[in-house]
Structure 1
Amino acid sequence: MPEPHPAPLIEVRDLVRRYGQGRLGGHRLTAVNGVSFSVMPAETLGLVGESGSGKSTTGRMLLGLEPLDEGEVFFNGTRISGLSPRAMKPWRRQMQVIFQDPYGALNPRQRVGDFVAEPLRVHKLAPSRSERADRVAALFRQVGLDPAFMHRYPHEFSGGQRQRICIARALALKPAFIVADEPITALDVSIQAQIVNLFQDLSETMGLAYLFISHDLAMIRYLCHRVAVMLRGRIVELAPVETLFDDPRHPYTQSLLRAIPNPDPDHRPPAHPRFDVDAHIPERDMEMVEVSPGHFVLRH
């Protein structure tokens, strides 16, 4: 008897988010237009696309930080979209976020140890101050920081250290899923590799699942199991990472991969017609077609 497939940890169905004046008149911008995907336990799903494609809005909708105009979000088979803030509170322990700008996420007037301890206090997981201090010290060690830094302020740290502090806060509640919204974009290249390796180590040791939002395709290939490519609010291609890089089917995906710099000075990429984004706006009624096992492409 074949083994049953594991159930998705996260499943989103037909997410839609619109901005604009609505009934008062004027144009309404559809930032996310019918997005559906799932994330399995301990899986890292990469979400790529150019700026303005709807990647960050999708991640925020999934966490309940952005309202849904249409669609549903499920966590471990339970529908969590549309819940009140009070009903959503237990689920927030299971889902955390790491933002692009670590300094913007930190409170400049708050010691970083108190910043990391705040979720423990809010969710009453460490009632006493000494318990919270012990837990924060353990989290600092887990992300590669000296616990002696707990009493310092954000301006005393480098960009990479600030992002490690934000990761420690995200881990404080022992979540099962993290939305990492371009978490390495604001960091130096050498620090980027350290943070990505930390993400990978945490996934292996804690079984964490990620939605890793990025425009860095090299990092996506290194870190992710599957990749979803977004264009103008729609997913146009979804595939295992090596399948996507070896056999891209949608012309937009092909154009993204051709744009990856090649360090070989003698390399001359073959000439291809320029992909016109404005001429290929994906419509809501277009369907995803499975061109090979696990490889889906929006019909174009």
Structure 2
Amino acid sequence: MSAQTGLTPLLGVRDLRKTYATRGGLLGRRTGEVRAIDGISFEVMPREILGLVGESGSGKSTTGRVVLRLEEPTSGAVSFDGNVITGLPQLEMKRYRREMQVVFQDPYAALNPRMTVGAFVAEPLIVHGLAPNRSEREEKVAALFKQVGLDPRFMARYPHEFSGGQRQRVNIARAIAMRPRLIVADEPITALDVSIQAQIVNLFQDLQQELGMAYLFIAHDLSMVRYLCHRVAVMLRGRIVEIAPTEAIFTDARHAYTRSLLSAIPVPKPAIERLRRPIAFDYETEKPSPEATLQEVSPGHFVLT
């Protein structure tokens, strides 16, 4: 669902589903299935930042991995720039890999501890043949380091020599190395100190304005989502229950779950915070029916009903 019409979405997701088998017993027989993604549809337009929010286990990160085809969907379709990429052989997917990159949640786990950070950032340039010789690679990596706020002299260092924020900057440098058109940022600030989170979000914003990329920004920090994103999609147990422009979500939330999430945002004023009461949400009594679909309640504002 998009607020914009007449334009080709950069990323299109249609009725996407991903299920995992559950197994039990001594022989590990299949006992059921978990629907991590249950028929979601949304679009990301060129240069747009779409926030994907929800509680842990709602299916946000699985959505990001399936969109990038790091995992294969059970059913549904993902398109990039109007071309369906689900089901494409990996060799044909290679050209789309240059256009779609990811920044993971844990900056240290995403790095190779046996590689210098310079070699790590240079690796996609080698794979895609964008820097045929060593001097050209080093020049490009040095420029990328400057672009994300790192000293190029750090290129010969290893991941353990950096702070969490610096490691995430290295991961961002690798993600933008091929000038992608879409970045999936999978909770990229969650593992960082609060004092560093704002710096990384500002870096994402600066890079988006400079390079014109679109983001699928997966997060649970709603204050950061409000600051960065153009639109917000709210996920609950594998389904999108509301999607709208950011300010509409924060000032005119229509779904009970969205209102519950917003009520849990801390207020930085102790006197107000002590009196504030979060809005409870009981999934069992308010869960949507399997037949429920997203309905437009105002221009660009869709709610699952």
Cα distance per residue 1:138-171 (max 9 Å; x no partner): 1000000000000000000000000000000001
For 1:157, the equivalent position in structure 2 comes to 162
Superposition pairs of residues 259-298 of structure 1, within 5 angstroms: 259-267=264-272, 274-298=280-304
Amino acid at match of 1:296: F
Q: In structure 2, what is the Cα distance between the partners aligned to 1:231 and 1:269?
A: 27
Q: Does 2:126 align with 1:121?
A: yes
How far has the Cα of 1:6 moved from its partner?
A: 2.1
Amino acid at match of 2:280: R
Superposition pairs of residues 190-209 of structure 1, within 5 angstroms: 190-209=195-214
Q: Does 2:250 align with 1:245?
A: yes
Q: Contact between 1:231 and 1:282, CA under 8 Å: does it hold in 2?
A: no
Q: In structure 2, what is the Cα distance between the partners aligned to 1:105 and 1:210?
A: 19
Q: Contact between 1:33 and 1:284, CA under 8 Å: does it hold in 2?
A: no
Question: Which segment is superposed worse, 152-161 or 284-293?
Answer: 284-293
Report the 3-state secondary structure (helix = DSSP H, G, I; strand = E; otherwise coil) of the residue aligned with 2:76: strand
Q: In structure 1, what is the Cα distance between the partners aligned to 2:241 and 2:5?
A: 28
How far has the Cα of 1:94 moved from its partner?
A: 0.1
How far has the Cα of 1:278 moved from its partner?
A: 3.6
How far has the Cα of 1:100 moved from its partner?
A: 0.2
For 1:183, the equivalent position in structure 2 comes to 188
Amino acid at match of 1:280: E
Stretches of structure 1 lacking an aligned partner (at least 5 in a row) = none
Report the 3-state secondary structure (helix = DSSP H, G, I; strand = E; otherwise coil) of the residue aligned with 2:288: coil
For 1:110, the equivalent position in structure 2 comes to 115
Q: In structure 1, what is the Cα distance between the partners aligned to 2:111 and 2:34?
A: 31
How far has the Cα of 1:244 moved from its partner?
A: 0.5
Q: In structure 2, what is the Cα distance between the partners aligned to 1:230 and 1:88?
A: 28
Report the 3-state secondary structure (helix = DSSP H, G, I; strand = E; otherwise coil) of the residue aligned with 1:11: strand
Closer, same or farther: CA 181–26 of 1 in aligned 2, 3 Å:
same
Q: In structure 1, what is the Cα distance between the partners aligned to 2:278 and 2:139?
A: 58
Q: Contact between 2:264 and 2:278, CA under 8 Å: does it hold in 1?
A: no
Amino acid at match of 2:9: P
Percent identical among aligned pairs is 64
For 2:26, the equivalent position in structure 1 comes to none
For 2:179, the equivalent position in structure 1 comes to 174
Q: In structure 1, what is the Cα distance between the partners aligned to 2:71 and 2:5?
A: 34
Stretches (4+) displaced over 6 A:
none
Report the 3-state secondary structure (helix = DSSP H, G, I; strand = E; otherwise coil) of the residue aligned with 1:249: coil
Amino acid at match of 1:11: G
Match of 1:40 among 15, 36, 45: 45
Q: In structure 2, what is the Cα distance between the partners aligned to 1:148 and 1:223?
A: 31
Q: Contact between 2:150 and 2:169, CA under 8 Å: does it hold in 1?
A: yes
Closer, same or farther: CA 269–38 of 1 in aligned 2, 3 Å:
farther
Q: In structure 1, what is the Cα distance between the partners aligned to 2:5 and 2:56?
A: 38
Q: Contact between 2:263 and 2:277, CA under 8 Å: does it hold in 1?
A: no
Stretches of structure 2 lacking an aligned partner (at least 5 in a row) = 24-28
Cα distance per residue 1:247-267 (max 9 Å; x no partner): 000000000000011122222
Q: In structure 2, what is the Cα distance between the partners aligned to 1:224 and 1:273?
A: 24
Q: In structure 2, what is the Cα distance between the partners aligned to 1:4 and 1:231?
A: 26
Q: Does 2:19 align with 1:18?
A: yes
How far has the Cα of 1:21 moved from its partner?
A: 4.7
Count of matched residue positions in the alignment of Structure 1 and Structure 2: 297
Superposition pairs of residues 14-163 of structure 1, within 5 angstroms: 14-21=15-22, 25-163=30-168
Q: In structure 2, what is the Cα distance between the partners aligned to 1:270 and 1:202?
A: 37
Cα distance per residue 1:79-125 (max 9 Å; x no partner): 01111111100000000000000000001111000000000001111
For 2:9, the equivalent position in structure 1 comes to 8
Taking structure 2 as the reference length, what is the TM-score of the superposition?
0.94
Superposition pairs of residues 209-228 of structure 1, within 5 angstroms: 209-228=214-233
Q: Contact between 1:232 and 1:281, CA under 8 Å: does it hold in 2?
A: no
Q: In structure 1, what is the Cα distance between the partners aligned to 2:286 and 2:32?
A: 20
